[in-house]
Amino acid sequence: MFFDKLIGFFSNDMAMDLGTANTLVSVRGKGIIINEPSVVAVQNDKFGRDRILAVGIEAKQMIGKTPLNIQAVRPMKDGVIADFEMTERMIRYFIEKAHKRKSFLRPRIIIAIPHGITQVEKKAVRESALSAGAREVFLVEEPMAAAIGAGIPVSEPDGHIVVDIGGGTTEIGVTSLGGLVLCKSIKVAGDKFDRSIMEYVRQNYNLYIGERTAETIKIEIGTAIKLDTELKIKVKGRDNSGLLSTIELGSEGVRAALREPLKEVATAVRNVLEEMPPDLASDIVDNGIVLAGGGALIRGIDIYLADLVKLPVRVAEDPLLAVAHGTSKVLDQEDLLQLISNE
């Protein structure tokens, strides 16, 4: 035990939030040091081989703008690993960037993974981290990490619900005694919100826009409720005739675009509530629901959900970083790590 603690003191143990949209890495004693898009840019040569041109921020800037021999790949899709090889290479890149080989001892790494990924996917994540130089790899499910990052006392015999609205999935977890009593994952989250905005703009304005533009619209004027003062944004795209055009889009239009995917999220939350054991249900009445993930930043989403499920709903203090903060906290709590790690 003493030897393990001594090794931990000299190694740069780190935690990773492996998200569909973004990957965040924190190092013990330093906090979050990497927060970049989960995107890899790959160039194919004439021999059919590929090499990585960029990862993260630089790679995301290439989406929709690459020549034929370059692809901007998102290896995580809808909360699961869509491209094993690229996911491994992305994980290796972020670990090496964070570690920088400054320590003579290999780090322990905690990785937050989507709920419900397969054993094959878990093995791929673990092996890629080990090949990148990890001494040990621990896997923690994202709903549990989000709950910890949101300040929920997960180890107590008290029921709490966290709704983590990420990039590819929304995960609804009921925590108690250091475990997930119930968990439901649906493939409706930030990416689906973006696609709904793209489709709304196409149908109502005959304007074609890309994912990055849709994401900007969501962030700038996205809302789940009617606002006292409507927000507006200038949107540029290509119309049906192939000409470039600019329109003015209001937050009421975006609210209409998000109506269906938000309704699916609310339905999933209601389904979890219906399946919950009665004793835990009474706890939820007192504790309410906590929202985490980037989707929790949509204006009024807490009010929208509270109205539909008839329970108190609050947004975590730092929802976008809740999973990253949760995995980071686990680094310093050995008992909690052993309790919640998913082997």
The encoded tokens of residue 240 equal 């049906």
State whether 245 and 264 are in the same domain.
no
State whether 331 and 200 are in the same domain.
no
Residue 253 has pLDDT above 80, yes or no: yes
Q: Is the residue at 151 inside a domain?
A: no
273-309 pLDDT per residue, tens = 999 888 888 899 999 999 999 999 999 999 999 999 9
CATH number at residue 122: 3.30.420.40
Residue 3 pLDDT level (bands cut at 50, 70, 90): very low
Residue 102 has pLDDT above 80, yes or no: no
State whether 238 and 303 are in the same domain.
no
153-200 pLDDT per residue, tens = 988 889 999 999 998 899 999 999 888 899 999 999 999 999 999 999
Which range of residues forms the domain containing residue 197? 190-257
Residue 29 has pLDDT above 70, yes or no: yes
Q: Is the residue at 153 inside a domain?
A: no
State whether 182 and 289 are in the same domain.
yes
State whether 247 and 197 are in the same domain.
yes
State whether 6 and 108 are in the same domain.
yes
Q: Is the residue at 152 inside a domain?
A: no
Residue 63 pLDDT level (bands cut at 50, 70, 90): confident
pLDDT at 7: 39
Q: Is the residue at 109 inside a domain?
A: yes
Q: Is the residue at 47 inside a domain?
A: yes
State whether 51 and 30 are in the same domain.
no
Among residues 257, 283, 304, the one where a domain terminates is 257
Residue 115 pLDDT level (bands cut at 50, 70, 90): confident
Among residues 257, 274, 299, the one where a domain terminates is 257
The alpha carbon dihedral of 305, 306, 309, 315 has a sign of: positive
State whether 197 and 232 are in the same domain.
yes
Q: Is the residue at 19 inside a domain?
A: yes
State whether 17 and 141 are in the same domain.
yes
Q: Is the residue at 150 inside a domain?
A: no
State whether 235 and 312 are in the same domain.
no
Q: How many CB atoms lie within 10 A of CB 228?
A: 5
Please count the structural domains in the chain.
Answer: 4
State whether 228 and 209 are in the same domain.
yes
Q: Is the residue at 18 inside a domain?
A: yes
Among residues 257, 283, 298, the one where a domain terminates is 257
244-250 and 80-81 strand pairing: unpaired
pLDDT at 46: 63
State whether 196 and 304 are in the same domain.
no
